[in-house]
Structures are given as structure tokens and as C-alpha cells.
């Protein structure tokens, strides 16, 4: 098992849009967005099977997501987390003085995290501002 450095983009998907309109605390939203699409070649480098959890770390944070095979082809070296709560744990807020954060095209380190658990949207957001009342 090893770490790899990849280029991360965060984009839309219809599953994400459809789930969001059911509500951000809906299980569909969790399923649609707590994932990272990685080319099988990169999974080999990581030494993981598809559908295992990985830790994604950027210059400004880190998040546990489930690595899946791309639903739309992603070339090796490029990783994709659907926009939403999980993606925004690692999106750098730097804006190049335009007001728009670096939502796509930032470097991340990805490493296997097979025994780590995924957090819910509420736990991530409330946890980050000190309001999370649920368990660990």
C-alpha cells in the first residue's frame, strides 16, 4: 500500500443533483457524493480494490471517501470527487483574486484508509464548526 499524488477535480453528476433535491441529509446524497472516482491503473498503484475507503489530503484539509471506478472515464493521474460536502473538505479556498475558489485542478495525496469510516455530511459540516453532537 502506498501514497499517490493526483490532480483533483470536483464536478457535477446527475446522481448528485437528483440526490441533493431529495435533501442533503438523505442517504442518496451520502451515496452519491462520498466517493472518489479513480482510474483502475491508479488503484493498482495504491494497492487497493475498488470500493475501498481512501484518505484524500490537499493543501488545506483531508477527507475519507470511497474509491470507485470512474462512472465517466477519468484518465490516470486525474481524480474526481463530485461537488458537495466531501469535496469541499479539501477544495482550496484560494481564488486567484477572482472570488472563485480552486474547485478543479489542485494536487492531492491519496492513500488507502481501509479501516477508516466515512462521515456523514452533517458530521463533517457541523464537526468543522464545533456543533457536532453525535458520536465519534
- Site membership for other proteins, residue 131 (CB under 8 A): yes
- Site membership for other proteins, residue 114 (CB under 8 A): no
d(C-alpha 20, C-alpha 70), whole Å: 20
Three cell numbers written together for 122: 452533517
- Under 8 Å between Cβ of 74 and 43: no
Closer residue to other proteins in complex, CB, 78/118: 78
Question: What's the CA angle centered on 58, arms 1 and 50, to 5 degrees?
Answer: 40
Q: Which of residues 3, 66, 109, 125 is near other proteins by CB under 8 A?
A: 125
Q: How many chain residues interact with other proteins (CB under 8 A)?
A: 52
Q: For the window 73-102, what string marks contact with other proteins as x by the rule CB under 8 A?
A: xxx--x-x--xxx--xx-xxx-xxxxxxxx
Amino acid at each position: 500500500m502506498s501514497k499517490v499524488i493526483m490532480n483533483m477535480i470536483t464536478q457535477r453528476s446527475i446522481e448528485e443533483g437528483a440526490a441533493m433535491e431529495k435533501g442533503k441529509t438523505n442517504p442518496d446524497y451520502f451515496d452519491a457524493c462520498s466517493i472518489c472516482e479513480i482510474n483502475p491503473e491508479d488503484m493498482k498503484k495504491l494497492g487497493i480494490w475498488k470500493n475501498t475507503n481512501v484518505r484524500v489530503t490537499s493543501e488545506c484539509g483531508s477527507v475519507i471517501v470511497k474509491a470507485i471506478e470512474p462512472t465517466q472515464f477519468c484518465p490516470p493521474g486525474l481524480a474526481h470527487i463530485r461537488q458537495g460536502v466531501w469535496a469541499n473538505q479539501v477544495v482550496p479556498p484560494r481564488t486567484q483574486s477572482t472570488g472563485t475558489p480552486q474547485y478543479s485542478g489542485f494536487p492531492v495525496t491519496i492513500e488507502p484508509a481501509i479501516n477508516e469510516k466515512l462521515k456523514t455530511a452533517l458530521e463533517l459540516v457541523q464537526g468543522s464548526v464545533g456543533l457536532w453532537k453525535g458520536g465519534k
